[in-house]
Amino acid sequence: MPAEQPALEVPEERAASPERPSRKRAGRTPRQRRRTIMAWAFMLPLVIVNLVVIVGPAIATVYYSFTEWSGIGPAEFVGLQNYRQMLTSGEFYEALLHNIIWTGIFLTVPIAMGLLGAFLLSQITRFQMLFRIVYFIPYVIASVVNASIWENLLDPERGIGPALASIGVPFLDGVAFFGDQRLALPSVAFVDNWHWWGFVLVLFLTAMQSVDRDLYDAAKVDGASRWHQFRHVTIPGIRPTLVFVMLMTIIWSLLVFDYIYILTQGGPAGATEVVATLMYKEAFARFEAGYAAALGLGMSFVSGLIVLVFLYLRRRGWEI
């Protein structure tokens, strides 16, 4: 017979804590119930829209990822075949590698430019708004327009290369930015970054303006240089924004599509193919909608994994 277990004692102050509401519904007042119903009534339209346009298609995508389906007509259930095809496809891994390179570029270049630009702008008061607008404008221009502008500017026959050559600066003459396999991916990333970094700058600037000025004054009193102020006051002060931007950069980089599709459509010879353009091609050119669904879910899985890692680290006490 087991020894008698001592009864679990609940501390009196915790058991009686008025801040911890009882889970028993019976304890709710009619007023509380009305408020709950009202809250759901307000949320209901959004929930319905969400179910129809997000949850429904998402479930359909999961289903179609297990089928062989052209996008038209009946789908044939094929189990895990599409996922096996994805995991053994060299084309998929090459596209994924390009996504990773793209992520690396966007985790460094625009964030470094945004941080530097925001810090410099935060030091001035005159014309600050003008610069903010100027840097922000590319972000609000349609991607098709931005891409067309740069497509013309970087044209090997009629772009800035030949123009510079005509005034005696020939180093860019004849360079096929989007046609050379080695240059195509960084060139498209350059164009995308051109419109993106201004947005990042404005986010950082807004965050920097909320950093307590007294911290800078204290640092100055302690003899901190501009660099030390940036490193030890600004960066810790904007850490939540910085982490948010980095997290979103990773997710958006895994889903990147528009600039690549407009400028190179994944070419030349697959040099700029990313998973999203591959997925589009599978669905609308090769008519492999089932396989495209598996590719989409694969990328969603990777993105979800990154968010989970982020949340896990946060729970473990990381200041992110």
Is position 155 an interface residue for other proteins (rule: CB under 8 A)?
yes
Nearer to other proteins, 252 or 287 (CB): 287
Question: Which of 32, 36, 108, 181: binder of other proteins (CB under 8 A)?
Answer: 181
Nearer to other proteins, 204 or 261 (CB): 261
- Please state, in angstroms and rounded to a whole number, the distance separating the CA atoms of residues 310 and 320: 8
Per-residue x/- marks for other proteins, 184-213, CB under 8 A?
Answer: x-----------------------------
Candidate ranges 17-25, 101-109, 113-121, 262-270; the one touching other proteins (CB under 8 A):
262-270
Question: Which of 115, 154, 219, 292: binder of other proteins (CB under 8 A)?
Answer: 154
Is position 162 an interface residue for other proteins (rule: CB under 8 A)?
no
Nearer to other proteins, 158 or 231 (CB): 158
Candidate ranges 11-19, 50-58, 79-87, 260-268; the one touching other proteins (CB under 8 A):
260-268
Nearer to other proteins, 233 or 263 (CB): 263
Question: Which of 66, 150, 178, 259: binder of other proteins (CB under 8 A)?
Answer: 178
Nearer to other proteins, 118 or 263 (CB): 263
Report the interhelical angle of 289-315 vs 275-284 (nearest 10°). Answer: 150
- Least distance (Å) between residue 159 CB and other proteins: 9
Is position 237 an interface residue for other proteins (rule: CB under 8 A)?
no
Is position 268 an interface residue for other proteins (rule: CB under 8 A)?
yes
Contacts 24+ apart (CB under 8 A), 175-184: 178/151, 178/154, 178/263, 178/264, 178/268, 179/268, 180/268, 181/268, 181/269, 181/271, 182/271, 184/264, 184/267, 184/268, 184/271, 184/272
Per-residue x/- marks for other proteins, 271-290, CB under 8 A?
Answer: ----------x--xxxxx--
- Least distance (Å) between residue 162 CB and other proteins: 12
Contacts with other proteins: how many residues (CB under 8 A)? Answer: 33
Question: Which of 3, 41, 72, 221: binder of other proteins (CB under 8 A)?
Answer: 72
Q: Which residues of the chain form contacts with other proteins (CB under 8 A)?
A: 70-74, 151, 154-158, 174, 176-181, 184, 263-270, 281, 284-288
